[in-house]
Amino acid sequence: MLVKTFQAGEMSEALRMVKAEMGLDAMILSSKKERKKGFLGFFSKPYYEVTAALEPRQPQPRHNPYREEAPPAPPERELSTREEFQNSMLGPLAREVRELKQRLEALSKKEAAAPREPLQPMQPATEQGAEAPAPRTFAKEELEEIKKLLYSAVSGKEKEPRLVSFPLAGGGAASETTQTKSMAAQLQQQLEVLSVPSLPPVKETTLVEEVREAKQSVRASQGELLLDALAAELQGEDVGPEAIELLMEAIRPAARGGAGIGELRNLMAEALAGMIKCSGSLRIKKTGPRIVAVVGPTGVGKTTTIAKIAALYALNRRVSVAMVTMDNFRVGAVEQLKTYAKIMDLPLEVAGNSQELGKALARHSDKDLIMIDTAGRSPKDTERLDELKGYLEAHNGIDVYLCLSATTRTREIDEIIATFGTLPITKLLFTKLDESRSLGCIVDTYLKHKVPLSYFSTGQKVPEDIEVASSRKLASLVVQESTR
pLDDT of 410 higher than 70: yes
pLDDT band at 438 (very low <50, low <70, confident <90, very high): confident
pLDDT on residue 79:
46
Instruction: Please give the residue that has the higher pLDDT: either 155 or 359.
Output: 359
> What pLDDT does 189 receive?
60
Domain boundaries, the chain: 2-70, 93-109+139-154+184-189, 208-275, 290-468
pLDDT at 163 over 60: no
Q: Which residue has the higher pLDDT, 124 or 28?
A: 28
CA distances from 416 to 57, 274, 405, 420, 447 (A): 120, 26, 11, 6, 16
Confidence band, pLDDT 50/70/90 cuts, at residue 210: low
Position 337 scores a pLDDT of 87
pLDDT band (50, 70, 90) for residue 157: very low
Mean pLDDT of the 419-433 span: 92
Least-confidence region, from 186-190, 280-284, 421-425, 430-434 = 186-190
Helix, strand, coil shares of the chain, percent, nearest 5, are 50, 15, 35
Q: Helices (DSSP H) in 237-325: which residue ranges? A: 241-256, 261-275, 302-311
Check residue 202 and give its pLDDT. Answer: 44
Q: Which has more confidence, 59 or 445?
A: 445
Q: How many CB atoms lie within 10 A of CB 72?
A: 13
Q: Which residues face 27 on adjacent strands?
A: 53
Q: Answer yes or no: is pLDDT of 271 > 90.
A: yes
346 compared with 113, residue with greater pLDDT = 346
Whole-angstrom distance, CA of residue 103 vs CA of residue 105: 5
Give the Cα-Cα-Cα angle 11, 15, 20 (nearest 5 degrees). Answer: 145
* pLDDT of res. 400: 94
User: Can you name the residues that pair with 120 across neighbouring β-strands?
Assistant: none
Select 290-468's CATH number: 3.40.50.300, 2.70.210.12, 3.90.230.10, 3.40.50.2300.
3.40.50.300
> Pick the residue with more confidence: 42 or 2?
2
**Half-sphere CA count of 199, side-chain side, radius 13 A:** 17
Q: Please name the residues in contact with 5: beta carbons below 8 A apart, sequence gap of 6 or more.
A: 49, 50, 51, 52
Give the 3-state secondary structure of residue 293: strand
- pLDDT tens digits along 33-92: 777 665 555 556 777 888 888 776 655 555 544 445 556 655 554 444 455 545 555 556
Asked if the bond preceding 200 is cis, omega within 30° of 0, the reply is no
Query: What band does 167 get if pLDDT is binned at 50, 70 and 90?
Result: very low
Among candidate residues 140, 141, 152, the one with its CA nearest the CA of residue 194 = 140
Beta bridge mates, 174: 166
89-92: long-range contacts (C-beta < 8 A, 24 or more apart)?
A: 89/157, 89/160, 89/162, 89/177, 90/157, 90/176, 90/177, 90/180
Least confident piece of the model among 44-53, 340-349, 414-423 = 44-53
Q: What is the pLDDT of residue 19?
A: 82
Instruction: Using pLDDT thresholds of 50, 70 and 90, give the confidence band for residue 454.
Output: very high
pLDDT at 16: 84
Q: What are phi and psi of 265, to 5 degrees?
A: -65, -40
pTM for the predicted model, two decimal places: 0.56
What is d(CA 343, CA 315) in angstroms, rounded to the nearest whole number? 11
Q: What is the pLDDT of residue 13?
A: 84
Determine the pLDDT at residue 185: 61
Quote the pLDDT of residue 255.
87
State what percent of residues in the chain have pLDDT above 90. 27
CA distance 122 to 300: 89
Q: What is the mean pLDDT of the chain?
A: 76
pLDDT tens-digit series, residues 91-121? 565 666 677 677 777 776 766 666 555 545 4
pLDDT at 7 over 80: yes
- Top pLDDT among 348 and 195 is at 348
Q: How far apart are the first and last CA of the chain?
A: 102
